Structure 1
């Protein structure tokens, strides 16, 4: 993980120490989920960390969080697919 992501991820510990009970539970769930991804060598984006923090702070629900993250990564997939198609066309 790059240093900025590590620092943002480490800030979840603050919720575990000083947060409300619901924040502590959410922060622990997010840390577990992100940790499981790290086991597979995957790194969370800054966007995911930001959305997770908004969820922990109660700004958005878990359902809203899921929709935001799905939409974000879907748009990234479409963008990458478009670039690949353009590259493939130029090689033909």
Structure 2
């Protein structure tokens, strides 16, 4: 699993929030045995750094998988992990969302 700890520990508040959201989203996928792609990790870092928005990240992930013609079962699982992680990241950083017990 990709570790975004450097953003959580040392980052600016906005980077910390996004880093935490991505780390949580990817961790939730790991519970189901799903591993994100390296492309998602790269895209997440761009989002955390403020180079792209979450809307752009979603579009990049969508385009990345649309460009692939044939998929193995492993690639299908990675696609699922990437899409779900991106959706979870969005939910966790919405101001109206509360992640409590």
Q: TM-score range by the shorter chain?
A: 0.7 to 0.9
Q: Distance in 2 between the 1:65 and 1:71 partners?
A: 10
The normalised TM-score by structure 2 is: 0.66
1:58 to 41, 50, 59: 50
Match of 1:3 in 2: none
Larger Cα Rg: Structure 1 or Structure 2? 1
Q: Distance in 2 between the 1:50 and 1:40 partners?
A: 22
C-alpha RMSD over aligned residues = 1.6
Q: When the two structures are aligned, how many residues end up with a matched partner? A: 72
Question: Higher relative contact order at CA 8 Å, sep ≥6: structure 1 or structure 2?
Answer: 2
Q: Distance in 2 between the 1:63 and 1:49 partners?
A: 16
SS at structure 2 position matched to 1:41: coil
Structure 1 residues 10-65: Cα deviation after superposition (integer angstroms, max 9, x where no partner)? 2x100001110000000011011101111111111100000000000000001000
What runs of 5+ residues in structure 1 fail to find an aligned partner?
A: 1-5, 84-92
Match of 2:41 in 1: 49
Q: Which runs of structure 2 are paired with 1:1-92 in the superposition (5 Å)?
A: 6=1, 9-10=2-3, 12-76=4-68, 79-80=69-70
Give 1:75 shift. 2.1
Higher helix share: 1
What runs of 5+ residues in structure 2 fail to find an aligned partner?
A: 73-101
